[in-house]
């Protein structure tokens, strides 16, 4: 009301006073001053209802308070393309997300988006391979923080993505990011959240399973991971699995060498200059036995540790495994229905925990024994060994269960792995000083268990059972031991304990049954005498099977077929002193796991004397099993058969010492090899190939080893020699030329040429002491080999060539024996020199053998000629002056042999040596197929004819005849001797000319008969059903062709060697069957007579 009374535009100051009821009249301070005009004017009055606002001229009407502006402005923008769409391109997921968006989603605040980002990355990289190949580093770096994500679904998606990534990318590419993968594991396992640590264990197991420890972690990181894992006590299953994989992979020996942490060397009074300071430890630690003393004596003998103090307390890995064993509980004794998987899994969990703990300790000790120890904290302390002894004393080991129960295979695996842990402690030297008694107790318990287990193993059907199949689903790391794997484990453990026994059993001059720790041993023994008896009993039971209880068991005995008999061969061979590591034969795959490495580490000592005294007959049971194994193996495993034969060969070398155990063992093993060499006794040659013929035919293979073993046989009886000769004739390339199918190059079973030669040499040479006794038998052997032929014609020309080449190689072996090794130095021949004995062997042994071969098989003329050539190569060519003093050729002791040689090999159609009928049978119409190829052995290297020359309608036959002529000529000249070559040439030329003339004369008379007469003879012969023996004209043509070819080669030989012909006609050649006219003819007269004869012979042939 007051304001309304003030005139508009008045500037007079106004003082406003307000007074409330009940209060004193005082001015209100804020309004005590005059209000400014501007402030008053700015105050707006609220519009009254239905009052019209006054507007000035030219002003627009004010908009209402609830009025919305709808006006807008439009401007043109030029956008050729959208940058977001260009960056994505075609490489997107089904949700149109590219790589950059997916990598950004990995760090999204929503866990669902982060989880889906890994799924999208997998989809994108699967659809577009180039994305993963070009952006692998970006993807791995962007996902590095996912292992420690706060949400389990994201960590699970990351683990799945990593598993897919490892399986997709090559190993070489993935390994280059090993540091990032190691970072994943370290950050996850060190996280404060137990869930993150649990998923980190799964990630570590994935990396170890797919990549391997040596690809990811250094030795320092492995030691760090072991310490972290041993602190995770809530997840023993996963931790033990990771420990098993971390310790079980091989690493570089140089990098895995032991790290020795020694104290700094300072000069201390009372200690000496340059000596390390003694480590300091608390009295409580020392009294509890938690120190390890590594090394003894010498400079630097101190306590080693991975800590700077030098004190080694309880190993964290050992403590974790022992804690897992104690907390696991007992394994049920009875059965659980196989269908109830949940109950089976819950009941078997104690057994799985104990099995994993034993497997971790086994691998840890194996690393130490092999020299791959990188941290001394892996070694047990004295208190931890005492804890193991406590487990044995409380009967917590060995675990007893029902022999037919569900958990027998699990209990067997636990018991066997713990036994090997005890063996590694005994053999590896990992026990600290002062714990020798603990080691002896553990070793004694393990040996007794192995003896008991091996005794019941065959009765229970071996290691493991079929009932354990329900447990095999949980065996992701192959910890269960069944079948041959369990037997291999037992044999390796036995080998370690045998290596521990060398100080007592193999020391020179020591009593093998002396008490442990005696002065003879020089040191405290690990095994007691009773324990050694248990060890020998277990080894014998595994190595001999049922043959120990029944030594005369037939080849069908079931015990010989058991896997332990085969797998125990390397161990028993090492115990017998055969030194398996010295054998050059390759070790087969199944036997590598049981190779006696522990015995090799201690020098492979021989336990032969101990075996004889401790248990007579055990060595015989071991060795007599080997030939039976060879029979059963057959062609199944050539490498294993070769290794067993190598052991037998090494045994034969040891048997050279007369009266030794090795000699007796060889005598027992040799008769048992007969079925392996020639088949089961009493069967015919067509019953099937022997096991030897089914093995590898290489010179260094099993067949070659058998050939080397044969000369060491103590006795070469006549039945055994016949067996070997039949083996050569039937299963060499000669006898197998008609076996198998025609499309195959080689028969299914055969003996190699090298093996046949060595077998024949072993029979012919053998032991020198038996040479005179076996001479008639060996001569029959030589004749049988020379006359060897296939039962039927060869299937192919290649088979025929191979057969004839093999026959010629065997003929060369026989010639070498007859001319060099055959014993002809009797009392009447002692005065003969080497040349005289060789000439005597040629006349009294070689030529009679050739005549018998020609009588038995006339078609073998070319082979007999080659055999004579081989023998002539062994004739010593003496001094020409000495040979000239013997007189002319007719007075030489070899003259009679030349006449017989020409008559037998040239003048008889059926045995003509220059007419190749195919000694191994004709193939097709051409009987000389492969003849030239059969004469390409290295011994015929001097035969280099021009193959294009003298090749008519049948080039193979013509070439073979040409080569045979040169062989005949070379043998003729060597038999005659260097000093008598001109006379030998005269004799050969006149003999050929004489028979050439007679053959042409008889041929002209026979060709006077008409063709009709010849046809009538052929028809009459075929109607009678009889085979025609060949007409006289055919015989004349064979002799005519042979004499013509030989005469031409003789003339070429004379021209090449410039043999003189001045003395022709002066030699008396009548005794060789040369007529008087030919004997007295000069070279010019003979040449004039031969020229028309050769032209007529060319037309006739």
Taking only the tens place, the pLDDT of each residue in 422-461 is 999 998 777 777 788 899 999 999 999 999 998 887 666 6
Peptide bond into 398 cis (omega under 30): yes
- The whole-angstrom separation of Cα 958 and Cα 1098 is 13
- The whole-angstrom separation of Cα 523 and Cα 503 is 7
Which has more pLDDT, 804 or 376? 804
Given a cut of 90, whether residue 142 has pLDDT beyond it is: yes
The pLDDT value given to residue 551: 42
List, in sequence order, the alpha helices (H) in 190-340. 194-210, 213-216, 219-229, 236-248, 283-287, 316-328
Q: Are 1038 and 909 in contact (CB under 8 A)?
A: yes
The pLDDT value given to residue 994: 80
Q: Are 620 and 671 in contact (CB under 8 A)?
A: no
Choose among 806, 636, 792, 633: nearest CA to 728.
806
Tokens of 337: 């229905």
Q: Are 439 and 425 in contact (CB under 8 A)?
A: yes
Max CA pair span of the chain: 191
SS3 call for 119: helix
* pLDDT band at residue 948 under the 50/70/90 scheme: very low
Given a cut of 80, whether residue 541 has pLDDT beyond it is: yes
Query: Do β-strands 272-276 and 265-268 pair in parallel, antiparallel, or remain unpaired?
Result: antiparallel
758-to-461, 704, 720, 951 alpha-carbon distances in Å = 43, 8, 16, 38
Given a cut of 70, whether residue 249 has pLDDT beyond it is: no
The pLDDT value given to residue 282: 46
- The whole-angstrom separation of Cα 686 and Cα 908 is 35
* pLDDT band at residue 559 under the 50/70/90 scheme: very low
Given a cut of 90, whether residue 397 has pLDDT beyond it is: yes
SS3 call for 134: helix
Choose among 980, 992, 995, 991: nearest CA to 1063.
980
* pLDDT band at residue 647 under the 50/70/90 scheme: very high
Tokens of 686: 């067509």
- The whole-angstrom separation of Cα 1000 and Cα 995 is 8
Mean pLDDT value across residues 698-725: 88
> Residue 670 CB: number of other CB atoms within 10 A?
20
The pLDDT value given to residue 892: 60
Mean pLDDT of the chain: 76
* pTM score: 0.76
* pLDDT band at residue 334 under the 50/70/90 scheme: confident
Given a cut of 90, whether residue 113 has pLDDT beyond it is: yes
Mean pLDDT value across residues 705-713: 91
**pLDDT over 70 for what percent of the chain?**
69
The pLDDT value given to residue 836: 78
Given a cut of 80, whether residue 1030 has pLDDT beyond it is: no
Q: Are 273 and 233 in contact (CB under 8 A)?
A: no
- The whole-angstrom separation of Cα 391 and Cα 195 is 34
* pLDDT band at residue 296 under the 50/70/90 scheme: very low
* pLDDT band at residue 138 under the 50/70/90 scheme: very high
- The whole-angstrom separation of Cα 105 and Cα 210 is 28
- Mean pLDDT is lowest, of 17-21, 200-204, 776-780, 1091-1095, for 17-21
Which has more pLDDT, 780 or 512? 780
- The whole-angstrom separation of Cα 907 and Cα 205 is 88
- The whole-angstrom separation of Cα 173 and Cα 177 is 8
**pLDDT over 90 for what percent of the chain?**
28
642-to-633, 672, 691, 710, 1032 alpha-carbon distances in Å = 11, 16, 12, 14, 57
- The whole-angstrom separation of Cα 1090 and Cα 997 is 9
Mean pLDDT value across residues 921-948: 52
């Amino acid at each position: 009301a007051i304001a309304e009374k003030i005139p508009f535009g008045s500037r007079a100051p106004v003082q406003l006073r307000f007074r409330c009821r009940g209060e004193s009249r005082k001015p209100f301070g804020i309004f005590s001053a005059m209000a400014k005009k501007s402030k008053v004017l700015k105050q707006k009055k609220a519009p009254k209802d239905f009052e019209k606002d006054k507007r000035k001229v030219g002003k627009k009407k004010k908009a209402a308070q609830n009025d919305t502006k709808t006006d807008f402005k439009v401007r043109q923008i030029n956008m050729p393309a959208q940058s977001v769409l260009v960056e994505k391109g075609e490489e997107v997921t089904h949700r149109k997300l590219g790589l950059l968006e997916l990598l950004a989603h990995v760090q999204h605040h929503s866990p669902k988006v982060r989880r889906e980002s890994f799924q999208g990355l997998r989809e994108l990289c699967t659809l577009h391979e180039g994305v993963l190949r070009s952006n692998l580093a970006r993807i791995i770096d962007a996902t590095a923080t996912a292992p420690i994500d706060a949400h389990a679904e994201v960590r699970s998606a990351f683990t799945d993505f990593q598993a897919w990534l490892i399986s997709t990318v090559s190993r070489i590419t993935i390994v280059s990011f090993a540091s990032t993968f190691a970072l994943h594991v370290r950050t996850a396992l060190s996280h404060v959240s137990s869930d993150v640590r649990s998923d980190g264990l799964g990630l570590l197991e994935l990396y170890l399973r797919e990549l391997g420890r040596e690809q990811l972690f250094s030795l320092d990181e492995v030691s760090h991971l072991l310490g972290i894992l041993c602190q995770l006590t809530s997840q023993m299953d996963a931790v033990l699995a990771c420990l098993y994989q971390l310790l079980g992979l091989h690493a570089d020996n140089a990098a895995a060498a032991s790290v020795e942490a020694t104290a700094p060397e300072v000069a201390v009074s009372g200690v000496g200059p340059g000596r390390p300071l003694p480590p300091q430890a608390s009295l409580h630690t020392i009294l509890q036995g938690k120190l390890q003393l590594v090394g003894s004596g010498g400079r630097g003998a101190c306590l080693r540790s991975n800590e700077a103090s030098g004190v080694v307390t309880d190993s964290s890995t050992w403590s974790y495994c022992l804690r897992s064993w104690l907390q696991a509980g007992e394994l049920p004794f009875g059965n659980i229905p196989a269908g109830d998987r949940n109950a089976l899994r819950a009941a078997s969990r104690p057994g799985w925990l104990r099995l994993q703990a034993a497997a971790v300790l086994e691998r840890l000790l194996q690393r130490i024994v092999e020299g791959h120890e990188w941290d001394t904290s892996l070694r047990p302390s004295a208190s931890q060994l005492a804890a193991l002894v406590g487990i044995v004393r409380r009967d917590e080991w060995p675990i007893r269960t029902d022999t037919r129960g569900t958990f027998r295979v699990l209990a067997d695996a636990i018991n066997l792995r713990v036994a090997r842990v005890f063996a590694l402690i005994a053999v590896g030297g990992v026990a600290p000083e002062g714990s020798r008694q603990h080691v002896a107790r553990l070793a004694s318990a393990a040996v007794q268990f192995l003896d008991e287990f091996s005794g019941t193993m065959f009765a229970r059907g071996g290691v493991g059972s079929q009932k354990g199949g329900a447990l095999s689903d949980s065996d992701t790391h192959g910890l269960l031991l069944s079948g041959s794997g369990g037997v291999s484990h037992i044999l390796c453990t036995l080998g370690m304990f045998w290596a521990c026994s060398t100080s007592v059993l193999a020391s020179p001059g020591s009593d093998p049954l002396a008490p442990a720790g005696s002065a003879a041993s020089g040191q405290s023994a690990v095994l007691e005498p009773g324990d050694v008896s248990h060890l020998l009993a277990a080894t014998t039971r595994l190595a001999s099977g049922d043959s120990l209880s029944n030594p005369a068991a037939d080849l069908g005995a079931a015990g010989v077929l058991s896997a332990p008999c085969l797998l125990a061969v390397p161990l028993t061979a090492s115990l017998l002193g055969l030194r398996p590591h010295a054998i050059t034969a390759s070790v087969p795959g199944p036997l590598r796991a049981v190779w006696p490495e522990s015995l090799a580490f201690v020098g492979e000592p021989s336990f032969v004397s101990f075996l004889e005294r401790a248990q007579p007959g055990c060595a015989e049971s071991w060795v007599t099993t080997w030939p039976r194994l060879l029979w059963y193996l057959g062609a199944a495993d050539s490498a294993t058969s070769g290794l067993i034969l190598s052991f037998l060969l090494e045994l034969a070398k040891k048997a050279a010492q007369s009266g030794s155990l090795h000699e007796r063992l060889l005598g027992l093993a040799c008769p048992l090899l007969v079925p392996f060499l020639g088949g089961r006794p009493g069967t015919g040659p067509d019953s099937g190939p022997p096991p030897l013929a089914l093995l590898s035919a290489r010179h260094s293979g099993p067949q070659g080893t058998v050939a080397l073993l044969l000369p060491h046989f103590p006795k070469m009886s006549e039945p055994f020699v016949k067996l070997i000769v039949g083996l050569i004739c039937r299963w060499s390339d000669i006898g197998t030329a008609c076996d198998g199918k025609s499309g195959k190059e080689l028969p299914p079973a055969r003996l190699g040429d090298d093996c046949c030669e060595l077998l024949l040499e072993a029979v012919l040479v053998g032991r020198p002491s038996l040479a005179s006794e076996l001479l008639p038998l060996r001569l029959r052997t030589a004749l049988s080999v020379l006359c060897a032929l296939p039962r039927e014609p060869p299937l192919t020309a290649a088979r025929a060539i191979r057969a004839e080449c093999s026959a010629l190689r065997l003929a060369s072996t026989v010639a070498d024996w007859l001319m060099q090794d055959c014993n002809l130095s009797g009392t009447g021949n002692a005065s003969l020199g080497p040349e005289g004995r060789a000439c005597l062997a040629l006349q009294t042994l070689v030529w009679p053998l050739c005549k018998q071969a020609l009588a038995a098989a006339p078609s073998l003329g070319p082979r007999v000629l080659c055999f004579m050539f081989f023998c002539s190569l062994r004739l010593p060519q003496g001094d020409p002056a000495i040979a000239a003093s013997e007189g002319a050729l007719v007075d030489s002791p070899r003259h009679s042999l030349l006449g017989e040689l020409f008559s037998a090999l040239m003048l008889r159609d059926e045995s003509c040596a220059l007419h190749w009928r195919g000694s191994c049978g004709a193939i097709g119409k051409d009987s000389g197929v492969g003849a030239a190829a059969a004469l390409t052995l290295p011994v015929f290297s001097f035969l280099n004819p021009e193959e294009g020359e003298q090749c008519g309608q049948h080039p193979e036959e013509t070439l073979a005849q040409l080569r045979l002529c040169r062989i005949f000529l070379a043998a003729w000249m060597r038999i005659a001797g260097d000093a008598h070559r001109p006379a030998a040439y005269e004799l050969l030329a006149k003999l050929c000319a004489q028979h050439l003339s007679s053959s042409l004369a008889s041929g002209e008379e026979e060709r006077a008969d008409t063709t009709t007469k010849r046809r009538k003879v052929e028809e009459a012969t075929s109607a009678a059903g009889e085979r025609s023996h060949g007409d006289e004209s055919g015989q004349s043509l064979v002799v005519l062709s042979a004499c013509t070819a030989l005469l031409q080669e003789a003339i070429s030989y004379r021209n090449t060697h410039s043999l003189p012909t001045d003395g022709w006609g002066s030699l008396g050649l009548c005794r060789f069957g040369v007529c008087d006219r030919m004997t007295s003819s000069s070279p010019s007269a003979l040449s004039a007579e031969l020229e028309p004869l050769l032209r007529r012979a060319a037309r006739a042939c």
